[in-house]
Structures are given as C-alpha cells and as structure tokens.
Chains A and B, each alone.
Chain A
Amino acid sequence: MATSSTMDTGSGTGQLLYGLVPADVEVTPQARGLSDPVGPVGMIRHGEVAALVSETPLDVRLGRPEDLLAYRELLDGVAVTGDVPVLPVRFGTVLGSTTAVSELLAVRHDEYKAALAELEGRVEYVVRARYVERALLAGVLAEEPEAADLRDQLRGLPEDAAVELRIRLGEIVAQAVEAHRAADTERLVEALGPYCLADAPLPAHHEQDAARVAFLVERGRRTAFTDAVRDLAETWRDWATMRTIGPTAAWDFVPVTVGR
C-alpha cells in the first residue's frame, strides 16, 4: 500500500488536508481555503467519510497569518454555518497524492466516522477570563503577609536595588496567581457545567489569565450557554474580565490520537 501511495508524487504537488467530514457533504465552488498557490477546496470521499483538501505545490511555505486564518475559517464555517461535524486535521498536513488520502480514509474509516458522530450537532466556545490587575494584586497582598512585608521593604528603593527581594516578591505573587487561576478555572467550569456537554481547560496565554476553558455545546443550547456566560461575566466583573470566542469547530474536542 505504501508504494502505491507514493507512485504519483513526482509532480511536485501534494494534497493539503484541512479536515475530515461526513461523505454526504458537498463543497460549493465558492468555498475558500488557502490562497494561491494552494488550489481550490475539494473533497475526497471514501465510504461515509471524506477529506476536505486542496492541491498544493510542495515547495510552498505555509504559516502566514492569512494561511492559518483561512484554514480556521473554512473549518469553523463548516461546523457552524454548514452545521456539519468536522475533525480538523493538524495544520500543515500534506499527503503525497489523492490516492494517499483515499488510503488514509479507507484505513481509518470507522474511527473517523465514530469521532464525527460524537461531534454531530455540537460546537465549541472558548471562554477566557483575565484578572483585573488591581483587584488581583490587592487580593494577593491581603492574603500573603510576606508579600506585603516585602512590598513595604522595597518602598522608596531605586528600581535596580534589592533585586533578590524583588524576585522573591514576584515569586510569591506568581505562585498566588497560579493558585487563583486553578481555583477560578474550577469555578468557571462548575458554573457553566449545566450548559455544556464537556469542558477542556486550556493553558494560560497570559500571566494574568484567570481561566481559559473550551466548552462543547449542543447547537440548540447556544443561547442558554452565552446567556450563562454573560451572567457570570457580571458576577466576576470586579475580579476578571470575561471574553468568549465562538461558536467554532470543536477544536479542543478532537481526539488527536484518532487512528494512531
């Protein structure tokens, strides 16, 4: 099998994989994927699953912001506007030929089909909360007597003095922030639990992130979910600012190990 899939790679092009979808999906001529020199979006089907692909020259360099956005927008569009379950394929995955894509679909057919069935009628939201700096730091100083002492000691000293004390102060604060983040992530998950099917806490992007969590939400419950986020944002307002991204494809609920 491996040999047959490499037969037609001599042309200098390959098949860029965007994602996997049920086979009963069709691509409209207007579907937008990555831009030139990457070709238009097409589909390769096998049984009940299919891959969204574009032919691409092998010497192209991918990863410009517009490449990533186009990839993301195509798959989010499929999931949200198209109401089709989609398994994104890791960005930058290119197979040598359409035959190789068909073989992949054949070999992994049942796993992909099952994973797609799991995502039917579901979308993702990411909720991020970021601390209000003043509230966070005042809270930490109130909780950590050593930090408050160090702050008093450092008062009036020039910026480059007492570096060790500064580092110690910062360390205490950083650890306290981490503890708050863990607690707040748990609070967020607990508060939105009734409105989602699953949650996936994500790593912090910023030192003052209070929480970043992906939620898998039933399409029919989208309004209930976003209303719940809005109410929660109100109760958290003096402590952290909340922001929601979504609905999108279920990026954080894709079994990355499907087929491995």
Chain B
Amino acid sequence: MTDIVRRSGGSPGGGGGGSDLAEVVGMILDKGVVIDAHLAVSLVGIRLLTVDARVVVASVDTYLRFAEATNRLDLSASRDKGLPDLVSGGKAGLMEKAGDALGEIVGGGGGRDRDRVPRRRRREEED
C-alpha cells in the first residue's frame, strides 16, 4: 500500500533525472471529465490514497536553493554560455539524446498488443 508522494523540494541541481513515475502519474491526476453534481446521488465515495501532485510554488526554500546553486556556480567555466546558442554543433550526440527522449513513450506505444485494447468493431471493415 504505497502512497504516491512526491519528494518535496528537490534541489536545483537535481534536475534531469529520468521519468519519475510520480511525474507521469501526476500528469493525469487532475485530468478528465468530472461527473456532474446532479448525478452525485449515484457517485460513490471510493477512498483515494493521498496523492500529492506537486506544483512549484516559490518559497524561501526555493530561494535558498537557488542562492546556493548560484553561489557554487563556477563562472570562469561558463562565461560564454549564458544564452541559447542557436547555431550549435555536435549534432550527432544531441540527436541521440533527443532520440532517446522520444523513445520514452508512456503508455499506448507501438509495441502494444492490439488485442489488449478496446477497439472499433465496425470501422475496420469500412476502412
């Protein structure tokens, strides 16, 4: 019985990290059609486990993390890197990276067994 709880905070340096389950799951929590109140008499209260969908709210904690990250920044090594470089080279490495990212398909990927998903009955004959 594991509740889904996002780690609060997170250091500015800790970015990047893979597709945490929590991020993927957090994406769907407040989505979807809400069944209207006038049918509420038949809405049944299932107990939902606590799920903390994280929203970034600036706070003193945030400020201190940013200050720390800024203070440890070694400017000498990054002087010419502040802004996006629109004519970057090194294509190969990046394409690889982008390719990896695009490959991280969540749900509904191409590899899914067609039999396992609900599908149209009549359309396939019509097409």
Contacts and interface: CB of A to CB of B under 8 A. Distances in A.
Nearest to A176: B66
Nearest to A100: B42
A218 interface: no
B32 A254 contact: yes
Contact of A138 (B24, B73, B102): B73
B41 A5 contact: yes
B41 A2 contact: yes
Interface in A110-154: 115, 126, 130-131, 133-135, 137-142, 147, 151, 154
B15 to A, nearest CB: 5
Contacts of A138: 73, 75, 78-79, 81-82
Taking each of B28, B32, B49, which has the highest tally of chain A beta carbons within 10 Å of its own beta carbon?
A: B32
A242 interface: yes
B56 A170 contact: no
A76 B3 CA distance: 23
A238 B47 CA distance: 45
A32 interface: yes
A167 B16 contact: no
Contacts of B23: 205
Given A205-B54, A230-B99, A239-B85, A137 B69 contact: yes
A31 interface: yes
B127 to A, nearest CB: 10
Interface of A: 2, 5-6, 9, 14, 16-17, 19-22, 24-28, 30-32, 41, 43, 52, 56, 58-65, 68-69, 71-84, 87-97, 100, 103-104, 107-108, 115, 126, 130-131, 133-135, 137-142, 147, 151, 154-155, 166-171, 173-175, 177-178, 202-209, 226, 229-230, 233-249, 251-252, 254-260
Interface of B: 1-4, 10, 12-13, 15-16, 19, 21, 23-37, 39, 41-51, 54-56, 58, 60, 62-71, 73, 75, 77-79, 81-86, 88, 91, 94-95, 97-99, 101-102, 104-110, 112-123
